[in-house]
Amino acid sequence: MYRICSLYLLLVFSFLLSTDSFGQTIKLSGIVRDKQSDEQIPFASVKFKQSGRGMLTDSAGKFTIQLKNQIVNDTLEVFSVGYKVLSVPITTIKDSVFLTFTLEVLAPTNEAVVKVKYNRALWFWRKIMSNKNKTDKKFWDNYSYEIYNKLELDINNIKREKLSKNFLIKPLNFVFNYIDSNSESKPFLPVYLSETLSDYYFQKNPEKIYERIKATKANGVENESFIKEMGGTFQNINVMDNFIPVFNKEMISPFNTNADFYYKFKLADTAYLNGKRLVHLFFSGKRKGESTFDGDCWVNDTSFALQRITLRPSADVNINFIEGLTLLQEYRQINDTTWFLYKDRFVADIAPIAKGKLGFKGRKTTTYNNVVVNNPATPVQLEKNIRNIQVDLLPNTENFTDSFWLSRRHEPLNKNEQTVYKVLDTLKKNPTYLLYKDIIEIAAKGTRDFGNIRLGPYFYWISGNYWEGARFRFDAATNKGFSKKWNFSGYLAYGTKDGLFKGKAQAKYLLNKDPWTFLAFSYKSDIDNRQFYYDQLGNDNIFATVFRRMEIPFKFQQIKETKLEFFKETGSGYIIELAAIDKQYKALMNLPGEELYKTTRATPTDLTNPFHSFETVVKLRYAFQERYLEENFNRRSLGSKQPIVELKYTKGWAGVFNSNNNYDKIDITISHKLSVAPYGKLYWNLFAGKVYGTVPYQFLDILPGNELYYYNKYAFNLMNQFEFLADNYAGFNIEHNIGNGLFRFIPLTRKLMFRQFWSVKGVIGSLSDANKKLNFIGNYPYKSLDDRMYLEVGTGIDNILKFFRLDLVWRLSDHPTGNAVVNKFGVFGSFRFTF
């Protein structure tokens, strides 16, 4: 009986279990993402083709389908407007499962445009435009928020099988274990991640901005100016502006005042979020080659405020190295009528070699929290600013613990982002990785730090010219590991033909970093290379040796210069430079020598060097909200929103340190680089100067010429060096980079991504009779313009093979000197890296 009862209970229990299993609910959950940006796709359709069961994803792209029975031999279709349909065959689903689906954007089609009397999509766009104040933060008098910035860099398009066999990569094969090949069809390796947390304050009138970076996690990046640039002040995109910056291009916004001229609009579906009805609006560029976006947005149907927008460059947009790009913004309601930006995400696939080859994926995510608008406390905070736009990096921002970041991040790190820290912790201890990292840095920067000493740049090591023969140069400087205040730098050079050593030594003391203030003393004895701008190709490098126009006679002179300089920056855009300079020149080849001047000057200083001067310089510079990128003890300008004005006064003192020249010089220049979108960018420069006094040619104004085949933006390229002298001059320099311009109308040139430009440069000058009498002696190569205009015009093709530019230049005025070689037409080349 006991055995019979036990068997009966077992049968009953088994039956209950089988009944429960038979009625068990299976959950099919998952998330739908964009293939390129990895962002969630809201309100996408997820449905079984045969059974018809399915649902729409929520606003975060997630879904959960409750299944009463097993699914056998069906097809799951995932679909969203503007994307390709993804069909996933399902053999059987027995248990609950979580899936991730990635959808690919549909390629643009040349669909016919049907003209109708009433275009509801265009009407809807106009309603958005008339309600811009519901979304555009520029309409607020002031606002503040906390910013969380996250920047990730991955290596994508990795072919593990091929790379693992490469002898250079073999020592790093262990990193392939970190490759994530699940969430995307193409595997990638996360290599870099930086995070910043800051407080941000904005005031519209007068415009003031203050950002206080209070925490950073930069993974070895110690450049403070770079960290500031990657904060929330300068990487701030407003889709409601007329133009949206994408790398160095100004793209036409779908909410541009004239967007209906550039865009087609189309209404799609509707959805509900928190009880509010959202309308799905699509937009795409009307014409190929224009700087427009394809994308969509979800808009509230009563307030016409943006809730979410996705932007992708239209087909044939002229941007280099970009395989895919997505800009996404999400908004949240902060009161009954206003939506404010909550999340800003920028994802770019960069292919420097070719599409589909090894490249990079950059992801930048910015979130905004604790938003407060029109707060009386915000102007009070901004009154403390030293400058109108100010970014402060607080001390010890990199010393926060992991627990701090876990509690203060606006959103947790995903799996890929967590992998970055694991990879970097491992790689930082790997000698092969550190070697490769150093090689890449040397190739990019030209310098290499060894402890507290920096060596390079390497492109100065070997060059050559007619006077020196082969020239060898060695540069060294201290870095901030040696001292935060003191910087010592210099170089030593030797020419095999003249058999002489040359060089320069400088000591700089940084009095203040913000505002930038320093005191410097230097001594230089070398060939005068006449390089005036940081991006101008001088004569003291291997490239100048290769690109020299050999038909032009060589001209050489030596300079010995001792200089004491004081530099002071103010918080309002003004810069003051004071300098005392002792200069001595010596003509070496094809220039009048000092012995000729001794015979023409009956003065008590006949036995001293007539090419010797002692001068004091006062220079004033104004640049509104100019930004800089700092490197060691040097800064490079990133430009200003308004024209930059420079005024320089130079006084030469005869009799001081045996100087022989007394003169006064005034120089003024006004320059600006501005966007004229959608018609590209325009650079213009106006300059003028005057010399009071009778002095040798070195202390007059030698109009800038170019004797290289390499194009010089700042010089007259068909003018020889030392061709024209002036003691009174005025001129202009204009260059307009149009973009693809007319090339976009030709299929071949549009595909080759050619870009168009034009330039015009002119100068008018004169030379007094006294200065002519003093300087027109011996084998002089120069002459005066005599109040006539020198004019050059140019055009050509830019972005050839994405790196090269070809300039065709015409000289429209011709005043050659004696037997001087003068070309009325020239072809010049140059190269650079730009998007």
3-class DSSP string for 293-358: EEEEEEEECCCCCEEEEEEEECCCCCCCCEEEEEEEEEEEECCCCCEEEEEEEEEEEECCCCCCCC
pLDDT tens column, 194-217: 889 999 999 999 888 999 989 988
Beta-strand pair 728-739/501-513 = unpaired
Q: Rg for the chain (alpha carbons), in Å?
A: 33
Residues of the chain with pLDDT > 70, as a percent, come to: 87
pLDDT tens column, 626-640: 888 888 888 888 888
Q: What is the mean pLDDT of residues 724-735?
A: 95
pLDDT tens column, 292-317: 999 999 998 888 888 899 999 998 89
Q: What is the mean pLDDT of residues 537-550?
A: 67
Q: Report how far residue 268's alpha carbon sits from residue 262's, in angstroms, rounded to the nearest whole number.
A: 20
pLDDT tens column, 83-113: 888 888 877 776 777 888 888 888 766 655 5
Q: Does 256 score more than 80 pLDDT?
A: yes
What pLDDT, on the 0 to 100 scale, is given for residue 698? 93
Residues of the chain with pLDDT > 90, as a percent, come to: 42
pTM score of the predicted model = 0.84
In this structure, which amino acid lies at residue 151? L
3-state secondary structure 464-494: EECCCEEEEEEEEEECCCCCCCEEEEEEEEE
Q: What is the mean pLDDT of residues 430-453?
A: 85
Q: What is the mean pLDDT of residues 23-45?
A: 79
Q: Report how far residue 753's alpha carbon sits from residue 88's, in angstroms, rounded to the nearest whole number.
A: 38
Q: Does 11 score more than 50 pLDDT?
A: no
What pLDDT, on the 0 to 100 scale, is given for residue 283? 93
Q: Report how far residue 736's alpha carbon sits from residue 656's, in angstroms, rounded to the nearest whole number.
A: 46
Q: pLDDT category, 182, cuts 50, 70, 90?
A: very low
Beta-strand pair 208-217/389-393 = parallel
What pLDDT, on the 0 to 100 scale, is given for residue 629? 80
Q: What is the mean pLDDT of residues 326-338?
A: 86
pLDDT tens column, 815-833: 555 555 578 899 999 988 8
Regarding predicted confidence, which is higher, 546 or 127?
127
Q: Does 422 score more than 60 pLDDT?
A: yes
Min mean pLDDT across 222-226, 377-381, 748-752 is at 222-226
Q: Report how far residue 71's alpha carbon sits from residue 74's, in angstroms, rounded to the nearest whole number.
A: 7
Min mean pLDDT across 19-28, 453-462, 652-661, 731-740 is at 19-28
What pLDDT, on the 0 to 100 scale, is given for residue 581? 96
What pLDDT, on the 0 to 100 scale, is given for residue 103? 85
Both tokens of 134, joined, read 């519901």
Tokens 């990193």 belong to residue: 175
Ranked by mean pLDDT, the top range of 153-157, 519-523, 593-597, 720-724 is 519-523
Q: Report how far residue 640's alpha carbon sits from residue 511's, in angstroms, rounded to the nearest whole number.
A: 24
How does the average pLDDT of the chain come out, rounded? Answer: 84
What pLDDT, on the 0 to 100 scale, is given for residue 335? 80
Tokens 């106006």 belong to residue: 686
Q: What is the mean pLDDT of residues 230-250?
A: 81
Tokens 């005392």 belong to residue: 580
What pLDDT, on the 0 to 100 scale, is given for residue 108? 67
Q: Give φ, ψ of 257 to 5 degrees.
A: -55, -35
